[in-house]
Amino acid sequence: MSPSKDLNKLPFAKGSCVDLLDPSKVQKILLINPNCTELMTVNCIKMVEQHLPADAIVYGYTAPKTGPTTVEGHLDGVLSSADVMRDAYDLIKQADACLVACFSDHPLTNCIREEFDMPTCGIMEAAIYSSRIIGGRFGIVTTVYRSSIRHDDGVRNYGLSGNCAGLLSTGLKVAELHTKPRDEVLSIMKNVATKLVVDKDADCILLGCAGMTDMKQAVEEAVHPYGVIVIDGVVAGVNLLSGIVRTGLTTSKRGLFCSSLESRQSRGQDWI
């Protein structure tokens, strides 16, 4: 496990009333980027800054360099989960809520739920559940084709296949969202989103990667004439978690997410 770390030393964005509040009344939300690409963390923080609850601070954590540069498959997910749990354990303990900023059914989300009791979700969950409140059928813009398959499995695991209009791949690797020419990437994003609306009847478009968070406006411009809503799971996740924290809810420790710490201690394991 890593040496003790201070949440306040991470990059952050804060709500408009934070400086006026008693520190004990301020919500501390840890946004965890489980890959080691800092640019994605920076872009996520910039995006949520425009939509923050007044009493919340969002801290941005980036996985250590031992982790994958992007998360595009099962192995990436497992490796990034292990690296983050070991490196960020003390940071997680200081947070009131955690958002796993990877659009997938990422194993880190349930790892945190087992180990701690603060509300935790992933950006895929946040986007999908938000879409169920404001729309009938959601479509997901994904990166590489394999991501479409993985995310389809994720939607099924959440029990919402009947509400999914479809998933379409941009054909872009996660890193290419920022290494390819911006105009080219945005054109692809707009075309894929429009196809989900016109061909699949989606009324909500979900951005299927944390690396797409700063492309929301461009996608909105493409689908707005159809009356379609675009949801970024990063912003949705921060606000969803903030509401849960404000109502005093925590992760249930009976059943699926009973304490993994207590289980380890009972078998004499004092390490992660």
> Cα(218)–Cα(149) distance, rounded to whole angstroms?
25
| 89 and 166, same domain (yes or no) | no
pLDDT at 4: 73
Contact between 30 and 7 under an 8 Å Cβ cutoff? The reply is yes
Q: Is residue 2 part of a domain?
A: no
| 208 and 221, same domain (yes or no) | yes
Tell me the pLDDT tens digit for each residue of 137-187.
999 999 999 999 999 999 999 999 999 999 999 999 999 999 999 999 999
- Domain span at 171: 124-233
Q: How much is the average pLDDT of 117-145?
A: 97
> Cα(116)–Cα(155) distance, rounded to whole angstroms?
25
Q: What percent of the chain has pLDDT over 90?
A: 96
| 180 and 137, same domain (yes or no) | yes
pLDDT at 116: 97
Give start and end residues of each alpha helix (H) in the chain. 38-49, 74-87, 89-93, 107-115, 123-134, 145-157, 176-179, 182-198, 216-223, 233-246, 260-266
| 244 and 113, same domain (yes or no) | yes
For residue 62, the cross-strand partners are 33
Q: Is residue 13 part of a domain?
A: yes
Domain of residue 216, CATH code: 3.40.50.12500
> Cα(52)–Cα(40) distance, rounded to whole angstroms?
18
Tell me the pLDDT tens digit for each residue of 9-54.
999 999 999 999 999 999 999 999 999 999 999 999 999 999 999 9
Number of compact structural domains in the chain:
2
> Cα(34)–Cα(42) distance, rounded to whole angstroms?
13
pLDDT at 3: 54
Residues 6+ apart with CB under 8 A from 45: 11, 12, 13, 31, 58, 60
Structure tokens at 245: 């924290």
pLDDT at 201: 97
| 200 and 252, same domain (yes or no) | no
Q: Is residue 157 part of a domain?
A: yes
The region, left, alpha or beta by phi > 0 then psi within -120 to 50, assigned to residue 248 is: left
Indicate the DSSP class of residue 102. S
Q: How much is the average pLDDT of 93-110?
A: 97
Residue 2 clears pLDDT 60, i.e. is over it: no
Q: Is residue 64 part of a domain?
A: yes
Instruction: Read off the pTM.
Output: 0.95
Q: Is residue 271 part of a domain?
A: no
Q: Is residue 169 part of a domain?
A: yes
Tell me the pLDDT tens digit for each residue of 214-261.
999 999 999 999 999 999 999 999 999 999 999 999 999 999 999 999
